[in-house]
A and B are shown apart, each in its own frame.
Chain A
């Protein structure tokens, strides 16, 4: 009975989505629409990379890492430094950014460990870490006389391809491929490998997992490291598009949060869907209403989600 109702509800979502897409396509014209659609895929999937880390950390460590956006910012700066400023290889820069992100995330895990699963304390700590990392970033930039302003990063992938009359930048395609690969990889890791299953076990019941021989501290560190790598990858992909500035971690943190809440706290599949939805909201709001309204539209979306379906797409409501 309930399964049937669930099925009706899900298919009604799909129908609504298709109708909305058709209406938008009719309103914007097919070319603009397909551009906006591509943009929403790109934004949505890269956002998912950041949100996935946040969601995994929430599910497994039971804390909310407000400083997750700072990992993204630091990784972005590493890419800028090695690739745009020093002119060393783009790929090497991304690998270095990943390494820095892992170290940073593991350090944060160490600092947050004494707090246990105290959400409020972890959020305060996250704020402290935001200040600490943002300040640290500025100190480093200051030492190297690099300036605090926004800076551009040249595109690595150049050129356009023509698909049925719509011009698509190779960069976008590369971003799509890399993020899909990383998201699939993360899900495959969680589903198929032994360590991944152990990770999910910790998310379900930490004590029981420990009784069955899972090293919980190790899983926690690993989760943070995975979150860091995903954020670094997102930074590596997005930095050529948006450039870098020290406070770049805050807006993406907010959007990633909305995705995590919409997806259902701690759920992996939900976050992917939610990331795509948020990405399309961002992209279409920017195209139709202008980029200055994106924040307002996102906030209203968040309100709507929390009032209508606070447990998100796939998650359960956490109560305090």
Chain B
């Protein structure tokens, strides 16, 4: 039974993988642009998951995407530096900003963290507006060079751009998945559920939080760089709070409990908006309704659907850190069984 389920899972995953690998061959610039946007979304939401693993809920993740986009875009636009270098520089800049801001915002948790990150998102757009001579203010700047390799301009060969986006996404998701599965991930898991316990068994909680946050911000910067060179312009309104909220919607709809959640969330919502392109003006209402319904009926998102079908009792028994269900289940002063389990594992490992 278990092996059978494993095969089904493997088959489904490889099907998705093949689809993602073959899709860029489609010769349709609109679809390819959607694909590239999707990849950015997956990177962003995966980062959001990593932050959620620390038990925190960032409402300003788009700020780091903006950092990556502006650093990479401005380097190419003002100084004519290659976008390849820009991709690296943008990611590093975003990671660095994450390190600095993280050292402030990660000191607080819960509501305070969410509000502070919301303010952080506003702050970055404000700074972009304020530095008008460099960034072009509210109207931004345009005609940014795109990636090119061996004479192929990726702007003309969109399929190549799509493959680049896929490659960056695979790297980002791979690194974050490895991190999640490593001892770092376990530690984050303990911390999110029982911070005091983690401190008592000698974990440097701030260090781990900073690590998770910085990695997430680094890749958000990469997503921003992918964005700016694919649309070839940057405006602050593309990175405002609504963008951060959009990422949260993807994360929740997909399900934060599972590593496949971000892809499901981004994929489902993007495909839906493509399928109902004619109803684009109604998307605010539709997204809102979807988010409300998912919060009420499927708190662990689309990724928990198979589990839901399997258990007729309804709620899946196992939640993951950061998932809405776990947040409800674990009380502040009494660790749940998962906490003890993980704590034992960690304590035993040293």
Compute how far the CA of A74 lies from the CA of B178 in the bound complex, rounded to whole angstroms: 46
CB contacts (< 8 Å) of A302 on chain B: these are: 115-116, 119
CB of B282 within 8 A of CB of A127, answer no
Query: Counting CB contacts under 8 A, is B295 at the interface?
Result: yes
Bound complex: CA A139 to CA B288 (Å)? 13
Once A116-B328, A125-B292, A138-B284 are accepted as A-B contacts, the answer to whether A64 and B126 lie under 8 Å apart by CB is no
Question: Contact check: which of B55, B122, B291 meets A128 at CB < 8 Å?
Answer: B291
CB pair A296 B127 closer than 8 Å: yes
Q: Min CB distance, B322 to chain A, in Å?
A: 8
Q: Are B110 and A318 in contact (CB under 8 A)?
A: yes
Give CA–CA (A138, B332) in the complex, Å: 41
Instruction: Check if B245 sits within 8 Å of A131, measured CB to CB.
Output: yes
Interface residue tally on A, bucketed by range: 35 or more
B282-A135 in contact (CB<8A): yes
- We find that the number of chain B residues with CB closer than 8 angstroms to chain A is 46
**Which secondary structure characterizes the binding site on chain B?**
helix
Cβ contacts under 8 Å, A133 to chain B: 288
Q: Residue B130 at the A interface, CB < 8 A?
A: yes
Q: Which residues of B contact A136 (CB under 8 A)?
A: 285
Known contacts A138-B284, A320-B332: does B126 contact A111 (CB below 8 Å)? no
Residues of B within 8 A of A142 (CB): 281
Q: Is the CB of B248 within 8 A of A124?
A: yes
Complex alpha-carbon distance, A37 and B44, angstroms:
43
- In the complex, whether A258 has a CB less than 8 A from a CB of chain B is yes
B245's nearest neighbour on chain A, judged by CB, is: A127
Q: A121-B295, A125-B292 are in contact. Are A261 and B281 (CB under 8 A)?
A: no
Which B residues are in CB contact (< 8 Å) with A229?
none
Query: Which of B115, B248, B284 contacts A258 (CB under 8 A)?
Result: B115
Contact B116 A135 (CB under 8 A): no
Are the CB atoms of A123 and B114 closer together than 8 Å?
yes
Q: Is the CB of A254 within 8 A of B127?
A: no
Residue pair A131, B284 in contact (C-beta under 8 Å): yes
> Can you name 27 A-B residue pairings with CB atoms under 8 Å?
A115-B296, A119-B111, A121-B299, A121-B327, A123-B57, A125-B295, A127-B248, A128-B288, A128-B290, A128-B292, A129-B288, A130-B245, A132-B284, A135-B283, A135-B287, A250-B241, A254-B122, A258-B115, A261-B111, A261-B112, A261-B115, A292-B126, A295-B122, A296-B123, A299-B119, A302-B116, A302-B119
Given A128-B289, A295-B123, A319-B109: 7 more A-B contacts, CB < 8 Å: A111-B296, A114-B296, A123-B114, A135-B288, A261-B115, A293-B126, A303-B105
